[in-house]
Amino acid sequence: MSVSVERSSDVARFGFLASAIANRPVQVLPGQPGELAWTDGKSVFIDAEKSLHEQLTALAVQAALLAANSLNREIASALLRRPTLTRRYLSVEAARALRAVATLLPPSLHALLSVDVQSDSPAASLLLARERTALPDPPPSFGAIRARQLLARPADLAASTVSSSRSSSPSLVELAEDATTRAPAQDSFVGALGGGGTLGKWLSRLLTAVRQISGGGAPGADAPTHWTRSGRRGSRGSMFATASTGGLEAARVPRDGGIKYPEWDVHTQRYRADFCTVQEVEITTKPDATRFAVVDRVGLRRALSRLGLGIDRYHRQVQGDDIDIDAVIEARIELLAGSAPDENVFIDSARRRRDLSVLLLLDVSASAGEPAEGGKTVHEQQRAAAASLTLTLHELGDRVALYAYHSQGRASVRLMPVKRFGEGAGALLMQRLGSLEPGAYSRLGAAIRHGTALLTDHGGTPRQLLVVLSDGLAYDHGYEPAYGAADARRALGEARSQGVACLCLSIGANTDHESLQKVFGRFAHAALPSPDQLSQVIGRLFRSAIRSADVRRRIA
């Protein structure tokens, strides 16, 4: 009786898992048939003819070595041309590296953690390997270490430490166990032209942006944060993965420690005090920032022109609902002096004064890099909508601010001011928006709480509106979808309890209505296929959100 072994020849689809474990963008490529798995620090090579379990095991070990800084240049230099020492070092260090990323390993690989850990650092493992103590040979599933290829890599890839947020990282069980999920493969013509040499690598980097537009590209920061079995985002079978920090290197972290906010724990039904740290970081604008077109603002201006109008009293009017005493006295004096008096002696009340301040929160997490309709990404669609709303509201005389946000764990929730209250809306705004790149995660609750604080402190108007532009995926280390959705809903409720109106827009994303409902709850929200349709619904959505906050304010 023959037993079929499940195999996977399309090893490129494991790139998300490798990137998550290694805490850096990593590609997974097919190695030579029969050879042991190995890595050059940028790619992991595994045998495409092995069974699925053997492929995952080999990938996990090699990615763990990268994450634990086990393959730095100093170690690679010590192992060069010393095969016996290399095998002994791998036997000791692989066990330590796997233990460091234990929370990211699926249950099917937990057997790897049964190996005793005999060291606490790569240096200690190397020292132990040099001793005459008897050590078992590493199993074939551990793969091999190729010191020559490691030393040939660029210096900036040499060092990588395990992220301090590993202890709270979510498990990648669903991603690793789904053997049927497929990811885009490497461009075939690039491999044909350049192979794995210098020319091939150069062409691969050159065409990375083209592949990302079509939904592929190198895994990591620019990759989507989840896959679905059906290929549609937000389906019932959605599975989430991690991504690296992406565009965080373009931001300057302030010297202060940031602002701490609580977080709602749906499991214990209580707040976790001072749990998240929010930092405002400046965007480093790029001279070659992406230029993009905004949607037609005529329709937006027409829809928003009657919103946010406060009652103001105008003196010295021809008609009105009250007498202007000062104007009457001056008119009487002019009459007694023999001059023709001014007949504008009334006070008129009219809704002409803008009394609305708006803060827009733009989600620039890695999931925004996924493809949307029209050949664009979700980020490009939401960026165009954010620019159009900001410019239109500014032209109408409203106080408006625009912040982008993403996160890397609860200790690093970053908000990047694209336009602060009181700043102009010109070329600098567009340059900052064009410099943003999707990356990292989305700790939505903390971003909403900080946005609410900015509105209440700097809005300066009776009516205040918070607009969240997001695909509705609240996800981060220790911030799984159900937990994140509950915290986001709680943060929106806190904002409305302070009289801040809340509106949530998802533009270009395929997130289903049920998923959006879990995150945004009963607050005004809408999902649009493109920003061109914004003018058709924005007036009704703004009025609904503002009316809800007005009712809440009157009750309070």
Domains of the chain: 11-163 (no CATH), 261-303+355-555 (3.40.50.410), 313-353 (no CATH)
The rounded distance, in Å, linking the Cα atoms of 374 and 377 is 9
| Predicted local confidence at residue 193, as pLDDT | 40
| Predicted local confidence at residue 256, as pLDDT | 57
Residue pair 149/40 in contact by the 8 Å Cβ criterion: yes
Q: How confident is the model at residue 348 (pLDDT cuts 50, 70, 90)?
A: confident
Eight-class DSSP state of 313 = E
Mean pLDDT of the chain, nearest integer: 77
Q: Which of 379-393, 457-471, 537-551 has the lowest mean pLDDT?
A: 537-551
Residue pair 469/385 in contact by the 8 Å Cβ criterion: yes
Is residue 252's pLDDT more than 80? no
Residue pair 425/394 in contact by the 8 Å Cβ criterion: yes
Residue pair 439/379 in contact by the 8 Å Cβ criterion: no
What are residue 405's DSSP bridge partners? 363, 415
Q: Which string of b and e fits 145-178 if b means at least 16 CB within 10 Å?
A: bbbebbeebeeebbebebbebbeebbebebbbee
Is residue 211's pLDDT more than 50? no
Q: How confident is the model at residue 179 (pLDDT cuts 50, 70, 90)?
A: very low
| Predicted local confidence at residue 9, as pLDDT | 52
Residue pair 414/458 in contact by the 8 Å Cβ criterion: no
Q: What is the pLDDT of residues 56-111, one digit of tens each?
A: 898 899 999 999 999 998 898 899 889 999 999 998 898 888 888 888 887 778 77
**274 C-beta neighbours (distance < 10 Å), count:** 11
| Predicted local confidence at residue 311, as pLDDT | 55
What are residue 407's DSSP bridge partners? 413, 441
Q: How confident is the model at residue 406 (pLDDT cuts 50, 70, 90)?
A: very high
| Predicted local confidence at residue 553, as pLDDT | 54
Is residue 346's pLDDT more than 80? yes
Strand order across the 27-30 sheet: 27-30, 43-46, 38-39
Q: How confident is the model at residue 312 (pLDDT cuts 50, 70, 90)?
A: low
Residues 6+ apart with CB under 8 A from 228: 234, 235, 237, 238, 239
Q: How confident is the model at residue 308 (pLDDT cuts 50, 70, 90)?
A: low
The rounded distance, in Å, linking the Cα atoms of 232 and 230 is 5
Q: How confident is the model at residue 6 (pLDDT cuts 50, 70, 90)?
A: very low
Q: DSSP letters of 225-293?
A: SEE-TTS-TT-TT-EE-----GGGGGEE--SS--EEEEEEETTTTEEEEEEEEEEE-EE---TTPPP-P
Is residue 370's pLDDT more than 50? yes
Q: Which of 280-284, 416-420, 549-553 has the lowest mean pLDDT?
A: 549-553
| Predicted local confidence at residue 15, as pLDDT | 86
| Predicted local confidence at residue 195, as pLDDT | 46
Q: How confident is the model at residue 353 (pLDDT cuts 50, 70, 90)?
A: low
| Predicted local confidence at residue 215, as pLDDT | 38
CA 117, distance to chain mean position in Å, is: 35
| Predicted local confidence at residue 478, as pLDDT | 92
| Predicted local confidence at residue 434, as pLDDT | 92
The structure tokens listed for 334 are 């002019």
Q: What is the pLDDT of residues 119-172, one digit of tens each?
A: 888 888 898 888 888 888 888 888 999 998 888 765 444 443 333 333 333 333
Which range has the top average pLDDT, 45-49, 255-259, 321-325? 45-49
Dihedral pair phi/psi, residue 485, rounded to 5°: -65, -40
Q: How confident is the model at residue 11 (pLDDT cuts 50, 70, 90)?
A: confident
| Predicted local confidence at residue 464, as pLDDT | 92
Instruction: Give the β-pairing of 463-469 and 356-363.
Output: parallel
Q: How confident is the model at residue 349 (pLDDT cuts 50, 70, 90)?
A: low
E-state strands within 120-250: 226-227, 239-240
| Predicted local confidence at residue 408, as pLDDT | 94
CA 325, distance to chain mean position in Å, is: 59
Q: What is the pLDDT of residues 505-543, one digit of tens each?
A: 999 888 888 888 888 877 888 889 888 889 888 888 888
| Predicted local confidence at residue 233, as pLDDT | 36
Is residue 217's pLDDT more than 80? no
